[in-house]
Structure 1
Amino acid sequence: MPVFIRLPLVIGLLAGNTLLHSLALFVLTLCKLVLPLPAWRRALSRGLVAIAESWIGVNNALFELFTRIHWQVDGLDGLRRDANYLVLANHQSWVDIPVLQKVLNRRIPFLRFFLKSQLIWVPLLGPAWWALDFPFMKRYSRETLAKHPELAGRDMAATRRACAKFRQLPVSVMNFVEGTRFTPAKHDAQDSPYRHLLRPRAGGVAFVLDAMGDGLQAILEVAIVYPGGPCSMLDLIGGRVREVRVSLRQCPIEPGLRGDYEGDEAYRQRFQSWVNDLWHEQDARIGRLLG
């Protein structure tokens, strides 16, 4: 199919799928708001997740129909829908999100991301993310915190509120450890010691582990590679992404990985060392996937 036909067709189908599922989502959300009974709210929360997984499933089917992506995925054995995961992945593009959804949808509990607060204004998707209890974070620069020290700790408070909701249902908490998308310019500016990755941000991972407590059963490390080079959502929709390679690895959450990241200096240094080691392993895995 010529690209000038396929592109608007796929965009229209994706938009229609999003609209239909969003309407169903908003109806259940309204019911959840007006029905205060905890049992009803838990049942409706499961219904909201089922709608979201259906939306992802239809999106996956559309990509399967209109693209020619060769998928190479390893490490899916042993994944469970009744286990709670902390999912850690490298981040290169918005395409990473549909890739994760393609690989993990209905294999583990529904993925929830920590989102920038501005994304709540994205038409349809922003309110849908809010309805699904995605946490919206307002990140402050060092300059802002220096001028307004009262803002310090708000992200941690938001993390704890989100994790309190997550403990009520099976969940997979998604964290892009680098905190931003990889670009060569960012890599050079950071003087990153990794070949394929930016420096990891250990604080966010530590906060989730601490806030969730024993509500998480395992860490799921995900390495994503695009052998054809950097790509955008438009490349994905237009059929220009030819190959995606994904490697997954589960590891247990040792008791020593939980602690007070802000108040315990010894724990903070130990945890940062653990994250750096993990990231060196991730860098080597990405090199093998590319090779």
Structure 2
Amino acid sequence: MLRFFPASLLMILSASLAIMNTAMVGSLIIVCGIIKLLLPKGLYPWVGKLTNFLMWCWSEMNRAIFRLVNNTEFVIEDNSQLSKKSWYLMICNHQSWADIVLLCMLFGSRIPMPKFFLKQQLLYVPFVGLACWALDMPFMRRYSRQYLLKHPEKRGKDLESTKRSCEKFKTNPTTVINFVEGTRFTQQKQQQSHSNYQHLLPPKALGIAYTLSALGEQFDQIIDVTLAYPGTTETLPPFKALLSGKLDKVVVKIDTIAINRELRGDYLQDKQFKRHFKLWLDDTWQTKDQYLQSVLKD
């Protein structure tokens, strides 16, 4: 443990090690992705297993780095029975960039390595973007309502991308993670979105509904994860606290939800299903918000 060093020095050290880890492992994953383009499709699953293993190595290196600078207390509520041989859809509240690192650390040895829905802009981040492409992670191009009014031909293109990505997940056991809020939580975003929740942004139902429609028969369960970082603030957000050795506590609640026919339907065309799905997701988010309030009230 190096917590006796100044926080600024710890941040430089841990950030440098994390960048080196990402660059090294990301480069290997990119090489695998390029090789895959040259191989017959029948060999794709084997390359996928290799890239997933490399991502697991990245996650374990991050675990070692952040244990070096943090003495974090993990409080985990978990009664789930999970397997690396199953397919999962994971939904989670989105508080910080630390969420991605911690989810990989917490679940990397219990379930198939996660695939995240990513914004199109992340494709151009050095090492990270191409590595995520090689891992077959879906990149989503979001269009504003104003843009779609001017370019109606673009409507539904992001859903087509989701469907193509889901098709790639059928050969190897996969965990697809959807941050249902669509962006990281901040007080400013909460006010701008007129959120009815104290610690969450309004959930966006379309992406998760379409993923369940495209791959619902293959998913074994929904994993519902709630993350909380007690003690962090707007001036010391979780990712900064993680890098500087000041992430003292992380609370994680893990629930599983059975996927039944009531959660699979045509969200765009079936108004009754759309209403039912939104009510289910709103209820799920309300329960999550109440739990966060109980954790963070102190």
**Normalised TM-score (structure 2):** 0.93
Q: Give the alignment of 1:95-244 within 5 angstroms.
A: 95-230=98-233, 231-244=237-250
Deviations 1:171-224 (A, max 9, x none): 111111111221222222333222221111111110100011311110111111
Deviations 1:17-73 (A, max 9, x none): 2222123222322221111141x2211110110011111111111111221211111
Aligned CA-pair RMSD: 1.4
Unpaired segments ≥5 residues, structure 1: none
In structure 2, the residue matched to 1:261 is 267
Given residue 245 of structure 2, which amino acid in structure 1 is its aligned partner?
Answer: G
SS in 1 for 2:276: helix
Q: Give the alignment of 1:85-100 within 5 angstroms.
A: 85-100=88-103
In structure 1, the residue matched to 2:258 is 252
In structure 2, the residue matched to 1:83 is 86
Runs of 4+, deviation exceeding 4 Å:
none
Query: Equivalents in 1 of 2:148, 2:37: separation in Å?
Result: 35
1:30 matches 2:34: yes
SS in 2 for 1:72: strand
**Normalised TM-score (structure 1):** 0.95
- After superposing the two structures, state which structure 1 stretch, 167-176 or 77-86, moved more: 77-86
Query: Equivalents in 2 of 1:59, 1:110: separation in Å?
Result: 15
1:16 matches 2:20: yes
Unpaired segments ≥5 residues, structure 2: none
Query: Equivalents in 2 of 1:193, 1:4: separation in Å?
Result: 37
Number of matched pairs: 290
Identity of aligned residues (%): 37
Contact 2:52–2:135 (CA<8 Å) still a contact in 1? yes
1:277 matches 2:283: yes
SS in 1 for 2:91: strand
Contact 2:32–2:134 (CA<8 Å) still a contact in 1? no
Q: CA deviation at 1:284?
A: 1.5
1:5 to 3, 9, 12: 9
